[in-house]
A and B are shown apart, each in its own frame.
Chain A
Amino acid sequence: MHIVVPVKLVPDLVEELVIDPSGTTLDPDTLRLQLNEFDGHAIEQAILLKERGGGQVTVMAPDVEGVDDVLYTAAAKGADRLIKLCGNFGQSVNNHAMACAVANLIKPLQPDLVLTGVQSHSDLDGSMGPLLAAYLGFPYVGYIAGVTLSDGRAVVRKEYPGGLVAEMEVVLPAVLGIQAADQPPRYVAFTRIRQAMKTASIEEQTVEGLDVSGGPTVSRMYKPEAAARATMIEGKPDEVASRLVELFRELGVL
């Protein structure tokens, strides 16, 4: 069982986002990147499947600031092979181009399973999972919270709104978009990561033939105007709590 997990670093949304002077993209120099939350779940799911049924886990990520930490952390959790995707791709590269190129790198690895995060918050032309699956000619199911494997098939739990789950069976090889792993992503101590830095090695592969034609173009990026803002209550905890109690009374909930 060979499981490939392509992951991505995305802007941390707690930071102030600065729009580039061009007015069409985020200023790359001010972004603080972190692993897409759902990719942490995709890595965890891959490791869990390996622990249960054996196999090999390969994690790959684009070469951006912080990528080595992400890859070594994956190794410390149990990933066997680390690949850094190198090349000349800025923010203007769309997901179709990237998915097509990444599919070409994944194909020779002959994976049984490709796990992506379900989506990230910055994929204007759709999330990579379904695109990757289409380029690879594999089936895709997304919004997955739970995977088991048997007899060349995956049984997955696909989430619908309201807590309804559809259990689906997918013939392998397949691409799955992971929303949540069977278990919360494990914590690894920094000493283990440091150890992985010494023992694991990161391979570099060049992403080529990026064709961004045909995708949507951006003519303007801007911060939304809120229709209204909350009335802020200032003061120490004691003062704010008193004001909130007053408000609860006014609202008739106390």
Chain B
Amino acid sequence: MSQDIYVIIEHLRGQIADISYVLCAAARQMAAASGGNVVGLLLGHNVKDLAQDVAVDRVLAVDDPLLANFVPDVYQQVLANLISASAPRAVLFGDTSIGAELAGALSVQLGLPLVSYCRNVRADDGRLTYVSQLCGGKVMVEGELPAPTALVAMVPGGYQAEQGKSTQPPPVETVAPPALAAGRITLKQYIEPESGDVDISKEAILVSVGRGIQNADNIELVRELAEAIGGVVSASRPVVDQGWLPTTRLVGKSGKRVKPRLYLALGISGAPEHAEAITDSQTIIAVNTDASAPIFDIARYGTTLDLLDLVPVLTEKVRQAKQ
């Protein structure tokens, strides 16, 4: 048993995921309270030079061709060994397409408690408290971080990625993997995002539309507004899942991060999976009939008018203003 804080350094195709830095930031705070070290776990193939700027005390790198790409059951075998051998105070995962299933599977396999949706960790008199965000960010819950070892799946928002970066490359210790065997899951191929459409991450004006638009026909209203103002239409997940707009226009956790000068959010509630990707926008203006929608917590300006009443009038006024 140790007081160390382990961090799963998530990476995809040669790039460290932003969430990894968020985990490091949280882990540093936790280690300061527990009196342990922050240890980064890096699984992959030819990756030992990848972790140059993560703010950890040391990196344990496990290198094997079978780890070259994320495959849930193979990664799980390696992590189960590392975690059970050293019983750290906590293991931090990103609450992501990679981290969430590892954390869940290991929790059952190793019989360890799991805290999910964790946004912050607090240290009160040396005791660690988790703070998690539930119900799409509408409520927070907190409690003591289970001991002696807790698995924690973290969402972004509580820490800046910058807080988890370091200019000093950490020492990397390479550990031999256990005898690995391919499991019941295999990666066949990566399918690249469609190209050819606009790249919403580079656009200066986004007119973004959510479920409040109600049906496919109404998308046209939004398209007209975007055209009038010289912007591009983007969307939340339900709009894309309905097939009303292509995936290339998806803003959010599974879509793109955007940083426009103006982000006009029409009928979007501001769920965490959407909100995390728009916080770098210069100005967010939200139109939502629900005055308590979380989007108003991150928007600079807002109105509770029905978007179907407002948008046609706004389009007309923008056109006039441009003449």
* A interface with B by C-beta (< 8 Å): 11, 13-14, 16-17, 19, 24, 26, 37, 41, 96, 99, 119, 121-127, 129-131, 133-135, 139-143, 155, 157-171, 174, 177, 179-180, 183-184, 214-224, 226-234, 237-238, 240-242, 244-245, 247-249, 251-254
> B9 at interface (Cβ–Cβ under 8 A)?
no
Pick the most buried of A41, A164, A228: most chain B CB atoms within 10 A of its CB.
A164
Q: Which chain B positions have C-beta within 8 A of A165?
A: 190-191, 193
Q: Which chain A positions have C-beta within 8 A of B140?
A: 221-224
* Chain A proximity mask over B281-314: 1 for CB below 8 Å, otherwise 0: 0111110001110001101111111000110011
Contact between A161 and B254, CB atoms less than 8 A apart:
yes
Contact between B305 and A130, CB atoms less than 8 A apart:
no
Contact between A121 and B190, CB atoms less than 8 A apart:
no
Task: Please tell me which one of the listed residues B71, B113, B241, B296 contacts residue A168 in the complex, with CB atoms under 8 A apart.
Answer: B71
Task: Please tell me which one of the listed residues A133, A231, A253 contacts residue B105 in the complex, with CB atoms under 8 A apart.
Answer: A133
Which chain A residue lies CB-closest to B260? A253
Q: Which chain A positions have C-beta within 8 A of B261?
A: 251-253
Minimum distance in angstroms from A26 CB to a CB of chain B: 7
> B250 at interface (Cβ–Cβ under 8 A)?
yes
> B117 at interface (Cβ–Cβ under 8 A)?
yes
Chain B interface secondary structure, helix, strand, loop or mixed?
Answer: mixed
Task: Please tell me which one of the listed residues B96, B142, B186, B296 contacts residue A169 in the complex, with CB atoms under 8 A apart.
Answer: B186
Contact between A162 and B193, CB atoms less than 8 A apart:
yes
Contact between B143 and A248, CB atoms less than 8 A apart:
no
Contact between B100 and A142, CB atoms less than 8 A apart:
yes
Which chain A residue lies CB-closest to B247? A163
Q: Which chain B positions have C-beta within 8 A of A131?
A: 104, 107-108
Contact between A126 and B103, CB atoms less than 8 A apart:
yes
Minimum distance in angstroms from B276 CB to a CB of chain A: 10
Which chain A residue lies CB-closest to B314? A241
> B187 at interface (Cβ–Cβ under 8 A)?
yes
Contact between A247 and B285, CB atoms less than 8 A apart:
yes
Minimum distance in angstroms from B308 CB to a CB of chain A: 10
